[in-house]
Structure 1
Amino acid sequence: MTRRRAAAWGVVGVLAVVAAWELYKAVGPAEGVSVGGDGTTGSGVMILPRTGDRAMPHTWEMVARLFASTSGGSTPPLWVAVVQAGALTLGIAAVGWLIGVAVGAVLGLVMQRWRLAEWGLMPWIVVSQTVPLIAFAPVVDALGKQLERDGVPWAQWLSVAVIASYLSFFPVAIGMLRGLQAPERAHLDLMRTYAAGYGATLLRVRLPAAVPYLLPALRLAAAAAVVGAVVAEVSIGMRGGIGRMLIQLAGQASSDPAAPWGPTFGTIALGLVAAGTVALVGVGLKNYRRGEETA
């Protein structure tokens, strides 16, 4: 599949989502569909959303709201505020991504080098991803404040970066482990005939073989770092980022229902920018991407 065709399918996918949104808004029930309850008070489990203008504004209203002022008056357009908040969140997510990549790479190397370490660490690595961030983020922030009281410099954004790294290290660790285990047996045997040590085999055989596994893991880690940063900003109440902006505008949704979709679109764009930026790394490593679909 060519890049042009892939881009075209991406546009088609976006248009399909827009069409599905508008179609459901046109034909869906105004009060949604609920299961359970007594049928008179509206209680129960909502399985289909409401289609009123407050719950589901039209897509063109969401886009138009991006070019309106943030809070009325002479304030800049909403998209400017979204870009400013998104830049802060993206920078913090980048720091978290770097930390997560370093931790994940070390864990992958250790697990590949010693099978006992893989048996002992892998269950805990998997279990770590089941911890809800909405509860874990305040714990990290509280520990950071304790360190600050003890004289260790700790800005609040560092807590957000740690949460972002918590999500991003997992795919890197798994991708690194799978990649380092990928070389063919004949290649490893050839290095042994040359009396090459582990370090030489790692640099000349294992790491090049790991590239097709590691690049997708790095892209996934970049997107996960953005998600972690946004959730952490919401959980600990950090100001200035796009997560806090999303909460603030969501509180005004009853009077301005299209406004919260601005930072929502911004969050999606951050994930795409983060993953796309990391994908550029693969351009310089194309000679090591044998076995990966690159067309």
Structure 2
Amino acid sequence: MLGALAALLLGALLWEGYKAVGSDNGASLFGVRVLPRADDSAMPHVLDILKRFGQPELAGGDPIWLVVLDACLFTLRSVAVGFGVGALIGLLLAIVMQRFRVVERGLLPYVILSQTVPLIALAPVIAGWGGKLSLGSYPWQPWMSVATIAAYLAFFPVAVGMLRGLHSPAAIAEELMHSYAAGWWRTLVKLRLPASTPYLFPALRLAGAAAVVGAVVGEISTGTRGGIGRLVIEYSREATGDPAKVYTAMIGAALLGLAVAALVGAAEFLLNRRRRVLV
């Protein structure tokens, strides 16, 4: 928590420092802008952005902070579903690849290759396919397409991190399990899974952040209303007249990612605490 607050404070200081010394027109190199403009229309003061949270979104409407909070909670549903499904798929893929080396050699390159597909091009395809599906009598909802995109990004760090964790036990530990006549399943449960936890939770934190990115990009690409991704687009249209408003939505999306990472960190803390108590 202290580290996150220190990072936010450092970011605010760097922002204000650049505004103090930066050019209103930014800086360009060979015709390419390498530093952003430092005028108030492009980089409003941090205090102005914070004040905007307390002001109404529209005249007579709800305050910005409440609108952003509602949008984040809407997106959180897609993030939670996508994160859960992606983490489960990644875990199962890692177990299968560890169990069968031929599957690892054949599948792992495609798992890595999957992350090179541009997400902004994939999102409309997923939305188009989803529109033709239904879960029994329940029609496919737009947020499900967003959750699918979030799962697509979330499974990769879990699959790679868990695979490394499952391979992490020392050879002498594996030989000890063999000497006890332990089969593959018992070795997995008693040795490999416990040994993989130092690799699992960092992978889950990355997966949580990736799920947030996938959900935000998915909402933008599919036009799903109600979430923080769509709010970023809507507020960006008002950037000329109300630049601070744009950053409220961006900050909301960033805080959503931090919240998801914090939840994973809390789960890791509780698991380690329970393990110490049992020991």
Tell me whether 1:143 sits opposite 2:137 in the alignment. no
Secondary structure of the structure 1 residue equivalent to 2:28: strand
Pairwise CA distance, 1:25: 1.1
Relative to structure 1, the CA distance from residue 289 to residue 234 in structure 2 (aligned partners, 3 Å threshold; closer, same or farther) is farther
Q: Within the alignment, does 1:28 sit opposite 2:15 as a pair?
A: no
Is there any run of 5+ residues in structure 2 with no aligned partner, and where?
none
Whether the aligned pair in 2 keeps the contact of 1:86 and 1:270 (CA below 8 Å) is: yes
Per-residue deviation at 1:16?
2.1
Is residue 75 of structure 1 aligned with residue 68 of structure 2? no
The number of residue pairs the alignment matches comes to: 275
Which residue identity does 1:65 align to in structure 2? Answer: R
1:103 paired with 2:89, answer yes
* Deviations 1:3-59, CA, capped at 9 Å, x for gaps: xxxx444433322221221121122111111233xxxxxxx3111111111111111
How far apart in 2 are the matches of 1:254 and 1:285? Answer: 48
Please tell me the residue identity of whatever aligns with 1:144.
G
Correspondence 1:234-273 to 2 at 5 A: 234-273=220-259
Unaligned residue ranges in structure 1 (runs of 5+)? 1-6, 37-43, 291-295
- 1:93-152 alpha-carbon deviations (Å, 9 max, x no partner): 00000110111011100110111111111111111111111111011001111225x987
**Deviation above 4 Å: which 4+ runs of structure 1?**
287-290
Task: Give 2:140's match in structure 1, choosing from 151, 154, 168.
Answer: 154
RMSD: 1.8
- 1:16 matched to 2:10: yes
Amino acid at match of 1:97: F
Q: Percent identity?
A: 47
Distance in 2, matches of 1:108 and 1:94, equals 21
Contact 1:161–1:229, Cα closer than 8 Å, also in 2: yes
Are positions 1:123 and 2:117 aligned together? no
Instruction: Choose 7-16 or 112-121, whichever is displaced more.
Output: 7-16
Could you say which residue in structure 2 is the equivalent of 1:209? Answer: 195
What residue is the counterpart of 1:41 in the other structure? none
Tell me whether 1:59 sits opposite 2:53 in the alignment: no
TM-score after normalising by structure 2: 0.94
Determine the structure 2 residue equivalent to 1:39.
none
* 2:33 partner SS: strand
User: For residue 172 of structure 1, what is the aligned residue in structure 2?
Assistant: 158
Structure 1 equivalent of residue 179 of structure 2: 193
Distance 1:213 1:288, change over 3 A: farther
Letter in 1 for 2:83: W
Please tell me the residue identity of whatever aligns with 2:11. V
